[in-house]
Amino acid sequence: MIVRDLLHLDELSIRLAWSTPELLDRPVTGVSSTDLQDPARYLQPGELVLTGLVWWQPADTSGALRFATALRSAGVAALLAGEGTHGSIPDSLAEACRTHGIPLLAVPAGVSFRAVTDRVYLRLWGDLRAGAQDTAAIPETVRRELLDLVRAEAGPGEVLAHAVGRLGLPDCSLSTTGGRAVVPVAPSAPHVPPVPPAPPAGRGDAGRRDAGRGDAGLAVGPQDGSPFDGWRLRAHPSTAAAEPVLHGLAELLAPLAVRARAAAAARRRAAGRLLDALADDGRLADPLAACGLDDAGPLVAVSARIDPGRSGEEVPPGWAAHALAEALHPLAAPYAAGTDRAGLTAALVAAPVERVADRLHRARPALQARLSGRRTLRIGVGPAARPTPDSLRAALVQARYVLAGAPGPVATAAELDSLDGLLRGIPPEVTAAFHARLLAPLAAHDDENSVSLLGTLAVFLDHDGSWARTAESLHIHVNTVHYRIRRIEELTGRNLARLRDRIDLRAALLCAPQPVGH
């Protein structure tokens, strides 16, 4: 699909406000709606941008230019501006689009953005596929019925059940590439008479069929996102006779997958705005409402990251947010999972801490299996907090701290109940400096002597300052223990009879880059 096609979509009456013929030939990859003044970081190259112009104010002479600059930096295909708010498209916006070479189209006041979005996706993934060889394996009457269901916003379960019954297929399922069931198993819908199958499609595309098949099922819709982003269609059991029809069905289901992807992207953008509002100490009422969390009660903070694997192997931005959303989706509780402007992935979930932690523990193995190159998904779960700025910020700080020092792939703030657990969240550069600052004299002594004062200190503290048990553990006389402890106190300037100094030296030992030997 190219921008020019928007001018010919049925019943939308989209008009051209400004463009050159060359710009109308830009390819379209998707649709994004926004009313932010600077939406650049939420947009993808090649997208159509829908805006209701709520951000535009006549008195702000530079607002339109700032908006167009953001669109140009994101590499969007075109801007579709709604006329419902102001009655027409401002001249300043048309001039700004002309300056930056952005096609500008007008959406009439009576046309909903949802209608535009759905029509574009159907054109991208439905109508343009109608002549494909796979789709030809489905009888024309059934193809029209399925497309009508898609246009009527039927759910994937209803569409799949109708297809199974009409096409005489085995029971089928839809799942995400991350392993989450979209439609667990769809038996045929009741009272749906089957129709004879269409003539078999040719086998000239066997290589492509094999590439999209296998144990993972058939790809449904776009598969060029993260490892957790995409749908797969499976038949139970799969038969060779059903293969051509399954491929055609996968093509017809693609608009639903694209619509689901667009909805998920919108949720991530809303979550990103909520996280930014928390960071900026802004008002939370609107961002919480946009995420469906305005009446949710206490919210659990979650933080996630994907550690890179082999040297130089970067993790694309957004993958952690995709994985977190996949893990939280089956909770059937309101949540917002996204990435803030600093690139930190976080979520706020309206469910008990124990339930959230259990779900993440269960979901992580399947998500981890989708990662290649020894990348590792790690998750930190903070406490539940009241939906106020101070409480939510504190909860997110705790979740990120737990994530930074988590000994395992999933950890909770409840596990942060010891000194070593507390120290794990401190950056290694800080802990290494603290270790050296307090214990460097002992390390220098040990380098020049056969007796390890660091080892003696560790054993002494492990035995709660007991001279006798330390001597027994080290197989030395108790007087020798007294001598070594006095030497440790001289070199460190600490008094091991004082609890405070013992805690400092214990923390320094725990901050050692390598375990201290006895």
First to last CA, the chain: 70
CA gap 228, 375 in Å, rounded: 14
What string of DSSP letters covers 151-208?
HTT--HHHHHHHHHHHHTPPEEEEEETTS-EEEEEEPPPTT----PPPPPPPSTTHHH
Q: In sequence order, what are the beta bridge partners of 338?
A: 346
**pLDDT for 356:** 96
Nearest Cα neighbor of 231 from 215, 250, 244 is 250
CA distance 431 to 419: 13
Predicted local confidence at residue 3, as pLDDT: 94
Alpha carbon separation from 470 to 227, 455, 477 (Å, rounded): 53, 11, 9
Higher pLDDT, 187 or 379: 379
Distances (CA, A) of 134 to 141, 200, 217, 329: 15, 9, 15, 32
pLDDT of residue 41: 83
Does the pLDDT of residue 136 top 80, yes or no? no
Q: Count the neighbouring beta carbons within 10 Å of the beta carbon of residue 39.
A: 21
DSSP 237: S
For residue 188, pLDDT over 90 is answered with no
Pairing of strands 376-385, 335-339: unpaired
CA torsion through residues 425, 426, 431, 434, sign: negative
**pLDDT tens per residue across span 418-455:** 787 778 778 888 888 999 999 999 999 999 998 999 99
The two three-digit tokens of residue 229, written as one number: 């982003």
Percent of the chain, pLDDT > 90?
52
In what helix (H) or strand (E) does residue 32 lie, and over which residues does it extend? strand 30-33
Per DSSP, helices labelled H in 425-477 are 428-448, 453-462, 467-474
CB 283 within 8 A of CB 277: yes
Q: What is the pLDDT of residues 446-471, one digit of tens each?
A: 999 989 999 999 999 999 999 999 99
How far is the C-alpha of 471 from the C-alpha of 260, rounded, in Å? Answer: 67
Nearest to 396 by CA among 268, 271, 286: 271
Region 251-257 average pLDDT: 88
* Average pLDDT across the chain, whole number: 86
Least confident residue range of 91-100, 133-142, 149-158, 394-403: 133-142
**Res. 518: pLDDT tops 60:** no
The residue-averaged pLDDT of 126-143 equals 63
Q: What is the CA radius of gyration of the chain?
A: 30
Mean pLDDT of 66-76: 93
Is the model's pLDDT at 204 over the cut of 70? no
**Band of residue 207 on the pLDDT scale cut at 50, 70, 90:** very low
Strand order through the sheet with 345-349: 335-339, 345-349, 299-307, 376-385, 410-412
**pLDDT(209) > 70:** no
User: Can you give the pLDDT at residue 153?
Assistant: 85
Helices 156-167 and 140-151 pack at an angle, to 10 degrees, of 170
Over residues 26-39, the mean pLDDT reads 89
Highest mean pLDDT among 210-219, 335-344, 425-434: 335-344
pLDDT band at 133; cut points 50, 70, 90: very low
Q: What is the pLDDT of residue 132?
A: 47
pLDDT of residue 128 exceeding 50: no
pLDDT over threshold 80, residue 203: no
pLDDT tens per residue, range 258-298: 888 888 888 998 999 999 999 888 789 999 999 999 888 89
pLDDT per position as a tens digit, 14-26: 999 999 999 999 9
What is the token pair recorded at 41? 């970081």
Say how far apart CA 265 and CA 272 lie, in whole Å. Answer: 10
Q: Please choose, from the candidates 79, 57, 59, 84, the residue with its C-alpha nearest in 3D space to the C-alpha of residue 69.
A: 79
Query: For residue 244, what pLDDT is reported?
Result: 85
- In DSSP notation, 323-339 reads HHHHHHGGG-S-EEEEE
Cβ neighbours for 230, distance < 8 A, ≥ 6 positions apart: 176, 177, 219, 220, 221, 222, 223, 257
- What is the pLDDT, as a whole number, of residue 170? 87
- For 164, residues 6+ apart whose C-beta sits below 8 A from its C-beta are 170, 171, 172, 186, 187, 188, 189
Q: Give pLDDT, residue 60.
A: 86
DSSP-derived pairing of the beta strands 181-186 and 299-307:
unpaired
In the predicted structure, residue 82 carries a pLDDT above the cut 60? yes
Reply yes or no: is the peptide bond before residue 237 cis, omega within 30 of 0: yes
Is pLDDT larger for residue 313 or for residue 134?
Answer: 313
Please give the domain boundaries of the chain with CATH numbers for all domains. 3-122 (3.40.1390.20), 126-260 (no CATH), 281-310+318-417 (3.30.70.270), 428-510 (1.10.10.2840)
Residues whose CB is less than 8 angstroms from the CB of residue 337 and which lie 6 or more positions away in sequence, other chains included:
267, 268, 271, 302, 321, 324, 325, 328, 345, 346, 347
User: What pLDDT score was predicted for residue 309?
Assistant: 75
| Partners of 186 in the β-ladder | 172
Q: Minimum mean pLDDT among 54-63, 114-123, 481-490: which range?
A: 114-123
Q: Are 223 and 230 in contact (CB under 8 A)?
A: yes
Tokens of 257: 């997958």
